[in-house]
Each structure stands twice: as C-alpha cells, then as structure tokens.
Amino acid sequence: MLQHDKARRIGFAIMGVAGCLVLAGCGAAGTPGFEPETQGGPTLSSKLANLVAFNKLFPSAAPLPQTEVQVECPSIEVLDGTASVRTYAGEQSNANVRYQFSLGDIARECSKAGGNLLLKVGAEGRVLLGPSGSPGAFTVPIRVAVRNDATQKVVFSQLNRISASIASGTSETAFTYVSEPFQVPIVAHPDEDYTILVGFDPTGAGVVPAKSAMRARRKG
C-alpha cells in the first residue's frame, strides 16, 4: 500500500530590515518549498506518489506481480538537520549564500518479495539561488537509509546524486528523485521495526543516529 508523508520544511530565519533573505521561493513566512497545485490535475504530492508507485503520473489499474505482496510500509521521515543545505561564498552570512537545497515531499512504496521487503523512495525539492549565487548546473546529494529500530543498525544506505540546473534569468528550479527498488530483510513487523530516512548528505558521511536521537513521528 502506498503511503505518503509531508516532509518537514526548514525556513529561512533571517534577521534584518527586510526580514527575509532574497531567495526565490521565500514566502511571507520565509519558508521555501512546494505548494499544492490547484489549477486542476493532481497535486505535487500525488504526482510524487504516483511516480514512486507506478513510474508515471497517472496510474492505471494493474495487479501486482504474483511474486510481490503489498505490506504496511515503515514510516518515512527526513533525518534531523538534513532537510536543507546551504552553500556559502566565504563566511557564513546571508549575503554570502550561493544556493540552498530544500526538501519538499517524500513518499515510499512497499511490497514483499520472497523473504525481503521491497522498497522504493521518492523525494521532491528545490534548488534556490542566494545573493552570491548564479545560474548553472547543480548536483543534489540525497541519501536514503533504512534503520532497524529494534537493533539500532542501518540495514541499507545509499547516496544518490541528482542533477538539477537553474536557467539563466531564473533563480530556482525543482527536482524529483525516485529510487530504484531496493531490498531489506523481512522482520516480524517491518512497519514498526524499520524507519526509512531521507536527507541531504553533501559530505557523504552517511551518519544515521539511533532512534532515541530522532524526533518522534506518527506513521502515515
């Protein structure tokens, strides 16, 4: 069963007369991210969900292959402190921000294949230019990991580099990532014992904290 969660958004907390860093997509409250589409058609959230589940925007009714059985998905959440990443030109100040990566929605799809849990993960986000940034090509580093909360061990971790580009004359772009299917061992209660984690990992360190260090999040 496809299940979908809204990722936490990290805003631009900016001091000064303007009260908000001039980055495209920065709203009245200083929070970049996706707003649902309202001019007909599916929302961005449902588009991502359909891409993860069916590899297309508009799914058609089709049964799962006999080798796969749908199961309850583990919860999915953004790893604390990785929902946005800024790059600076020099010292870390608002005026020196070159660009920022920000996560929007995240989604996952789960099924059982033999003795393994088959997973796919999707994420939407934006690249926004800062005062010291310029249009061009960007590489967005997204890490996907699965933690066994019963043993506190990471059973899957993969760094994915997504290409995105901001055209001349514009100041932001959106990106969508959908992982290839990957497997983790089946446990007694995968929806309770596993947590899927998504976040930016610009250093490639891949550190995943224990469950006790995570903010509690209700399953979708």
With a CB cutoff of 8 Å and minimum separation 6, the contacts of 68 are: 111, 112, 113, 118
pLDDT tens, position by position, 16-29 = 323 333 333 333 23
Model confidence band, residue 162 (pLDDT cutoffs 50, 70, 90)? very high
pLDDT for residue 83: 95
pLDDT for residue 176: 95
Average of per-residue pLDDT across 44-63: 52
Model confidence band, residue 72 (pLDDT cutoffs 50, 70, 90)? confident
User: Does pLDDT of 2 surpass 50?
Assistant: no
Residues of the chain with pLDDT > 90, as a percent, come to 50
Average of per-residue pLDDT across 74-103: 94
pLDDT tens, position by position, 109-125 = 999 888 899 999 999 99
Backbone φ, ψ for residue 155 (5° rounding)? -100, -10
Rounded to whole angstroms, what are the CA distances from 132 to 38, 68, 99, 135, 220? 33, 49, 8, 11, 39
Residues of the chain with pLDDT > 70, as a percent, come to 62
Rounded to whole angstroms, what are the CA distances from 28 to 22, 23, 98, 129, 202? 11, 12, 21, 17, 28
Q: Please provide the average confidence, as pLDDT, over all residues in the chain.
A: 74
H or E stretch covering 194: strand 194-200
pTM across the whole model: 0.67
User: Does pLDDT of 154 surpass 80?
Assistant: yes
Helix (H, G, I), strand (E, B) or coil at 96: helix
Angle among Cα 130, 136, 137 to the nearest 5 degrees reads: 110
Structure tokens at 90: 């020099």
Q: What DSSP designation does 72 have?
A: P
